[in-house]
Structure 1
Amino acid sequence: MPNGGGNRLGFDELPVRVRRAIEEILGAPVVAAHTQPGGFSPGLAARLVLADGRRAFAKAVGVERNPDAPGFHRREVEVLAALPPDLPVPRLIGSYDEGNWVALVVEDVEGETPAEPWRPGELARVVEAMAGLADRLTPSPIAIRPIAALDENGFRGWRTLAADPAAAAPLGPAVRARIDELAAIEDGWAAAAAGDSLVHGDLRADNILLTPHDVVFVDWPHAKIGAPWLDLLFLLPSAAVTGTDPEEVWAAYPPARKADPDAVTAVLVALTGFFLRHSVLPPPPNLERVREFQRVQGEAALRWVDARLR
């Protein structure tokens, strides 16, 4: 499975004014920048070393790279600035927003992303930390949009394909034959996903860092308020791609034990429709590999849907 967009910017490729703004936030010149793999940002995502020996992590992107990406950074700044300081989340140091270019600087976490394929011990550690985070974030400590906001565009993939069956041609006849069935299940996903927990909304291996003592959750622009089990549901298709049995992990997850099974299936169907509908669209600017990423996750999610429906 592709684990990154493959089109990052180096620190030296940023406009001079953006580099200077990052250094002003940090109060020292940057002497080294190490681009980080994984993820799909088309801009800078780098660990920085400063002239005084300190370290930080910075992200920056402009509308010329991708028209939507600055908005993601802007939303992440808002979320990080509002979160309580005792969460396993990098602390926000500062940000820069000129309209076209947005940058944010957070503390550097000395950790590594989980291995893929997932190692059972690392997955168990992450899932335990996710359960603790879900408990800590229920009820949500910040005001933010509900998860149902996703129904405005992305999480209506099957209903969109039902209205335009020809667009589903690349998905094959077996999938096309099921569009109406899956669209009917998807229709109830927003009510099924409702809750009062703050959820990350985009957890995968590349948005998690393992340190010797902690599990740290990074990249928060997609945070919403919803059911406390959503983050594991959203993570498991990417783990299933590399061989993890999603239902086995799901059944052992404490927040999942309190969830209505039909509600879980409805949200999983909507997530599957999001991936597969987007997989047949042209790629966004400077994110050429994201459609393949969505396709393989959608196929894994659909296999999980089938197992649950059986």
Structure 2
Amino acid sequence: MVWDGVGGGRLGWAELPDTVRESIEVALGSAVVDAASQPGGFSPGLAARLRLADGRRVFAKAGSATNSPHVVGFHRREAGIAGRLPAHVAAPRLLWSGGGDDWAALVFADVDGHPPPLPWRAADWTRVHDAVVRLARDLTPSPVELPPVGADPDSFSGWRSLAADPALATELDPWVSGNLDRLATLEAGWPAAAAGETLVHGDLRADNILLTADRVLFVDWPHAAVGAPWFDLLGMLPSVAMQGGPAPADVWRDSPLAAGADPDAVDSVLAAVAGFFLHSSLLPAPPGLPTLRRFQRLQGEPALDWLRSRLT
């Protein structure tokens, strides 16, 4: 079975508070007559395509600070980012955001598309890879002023956490225990290694991509930042391998995004990504996200294999 990235307990439209639903309908100027919940992703909130009484279709997502404060934080950050993305960015257009103190909600223009079918098909991956390359080129220099991708150096600190608790590392591949100090040192340099002038999405994977008849669009931008043009591709490749796509090293060898990348910088960022996934996979599951740790482990393993092949 290919892991499909479904991990959040979705809320239905009718489960939203009346005030939130009414705010959305007032903002759109039409009542919602049908709501179809969408699978994929790890947000334990609303993610639904809405049909309005006037015939329009939109996509809405929302979360409660009571049930999922981290999701509310992501939604509010995305509202501030999505509203500033230029029209040429391959992303759905934000129509409205709000929700009050306890809720955050966003409404986007509906996209007549679907995530890439899994396991990855060669033609779909070629199409998406080409779109990731275009995205990096279109967003260099960044058209939006945002913090650097390494603004929080501790956001990727998995190997250093494991070095402080080596007993936990014994649950991973034996190679890890013998190389913890090296991995921790590599990881520590990732903020400088990931620096650049490109607006990066920060969380590319299949469930954050929509394929239409003639376009590839990238959704869910709360993790956007400014960094190296190759950052998104590197971060995405472990999930592609996990979901039946090509091996990361094979993609990297031939990708134009990798051609100008400093190998030492790549090793540092890849170490940070692998450490994040594998250390996180050993932690208790967050409330409402029971499958997240398995999802992280299945990405961490190909990331580690790729990193080891580069270091040995």
TM-score band (shorter)?
Answer: over 0.9
Relative to the length of structure 2, the TM-score reads: 0.96
Question: What per-residue deviation string (whole Å, max 9, x for no partner) do you get for residues 93-145 of structure 1?
Answer: 00113122000000010011112211111111111111111111001001111
Q: Which residue is equivalent to 1:197? A: 198
**Conserved? CA contact 2:64–2:102, under 8 Å:** yes
Report what 2:267 is aligned to.
265
- Contact 1:33/1:49 (CA < 8 Å) preserved in 2? yes
2:121–2:245: 8 Å Cα contact kept in structure 1?
no
Pick aligned residue for 2:50 from 48, 51, 56: 48
Secondary structure of the residue aligned to 1:185 is: helix
SS of residue paired to 1:130: helix
- What CA deviation, in whole Å up to 9, does each residue of 1:9-31 have, x standing for no partner? 11111111111111112111111
Residue type of the partner of 1:53?
G
In the aligned structure 2, how far is the partner of 1:73 from the partner of 1:236? 25
Amino acid at match of 1:98: G
Q: For residue 240 of structure 2, what is the amino acid of its counterpart?
A: A
Question: 1:109 — aligned with what?
Answer: 111
Between the aligned partners of 1:93 and 1:243, the Cα distance in structure 2 is: 34
Q: Which of residues 76, 81, 96 is equivalent to 1:74? A: 76
The alpha-carbon deviation at position 292 of structure 1 amounts to 0.6
Identity %, equivalent residues: 55
Q: Which residue of 2 aligns with 1:157?
A: 158
**1:2, distance to aligned residue in structure 2 (A):** 4.6
- Structure 1 residue ranges, 4+ long, deviating more than 2 angstroms after superposition: 166-178
Deviation at 1:169, TM superposition (A): 4.0
AA paired with 2:289? Answer: L
1:243 offset after TM fit, Å? 4.4
Cα offset, 1:176, TM superposition: 2.7
Q: Does 2:5 align with 1:3?
A: yes
Rounded to whole Å, the distance in 2 between the matches of 1:177 and 1:272 is: 16
Q: Does 1:208 align with 2:199?
A: no
* Equivalence for 2:62: 60
> Aligned letter for 2:198?
S
Correspondence 1:285-304 to 2 at 5 A: 285-304=287-306
Looking at structure 1, the residues matched to 128 and 139 of structure 2 have their Cα atoms a distance apart, in angstroms, of 16
1:68 counterpart SS class: helix
Equivalent position to 1:87, from 86, 89, 92: 89
| Equivalent in 238, 244, 247 of residue 246 of structure 2 | 244
Equivalent position of 2:171 in the other structure: 170
Corresponding residue number in structure 2 for 1:218: 219
AA aligned to 1:31 is V
Query: How many pairs were matched up?
Result: 309
- Please state how far the C-alpha of 1:172 moved relative to its aligned partner: 5.2
Instruction: Give the C-alpha shift of residue 240 in structure 1.
Output: 1.0
| Inter-partner Cα distance in structure 2 for 1:300 and 1:4 | 19
Instruction: Judge conservation of contact 1:66–1:284 (CA < 8 Å) in 2.
Output: no
Cα pair 2:57 2:109 within 8 Å, conserved = yes
Q: How many Å separate the matches in 1 of 2:136 and 2:209?
A: 15
Secondary structure of the 2:199 match is strand
Partner of 2:183: 182
Question: For residues 272 and 113 of structure 1, what CA distance do their matches in structure 2 show?
Answer: 25
What SS does the aligned partner of 1:209 have? strand
Return the offset for 1:173: 4.0
Q: 1: CA distance between counterparts of 2:102 and 2:47?
A: 17
Aligned CA-pair RMSD: 1.3
TM-superposed CA distance for 1:168, in Å, is 2.7
Aligned partner of 1:232 in structure 2 is: 233
SS of match in other structure, 2:118 = coil
Work out whether residues 28 and 50 of structure 1, in 8 Å CA contact, stay in contact via their aligned partners in 2: yes
1:279 aligns with 2:281: yes
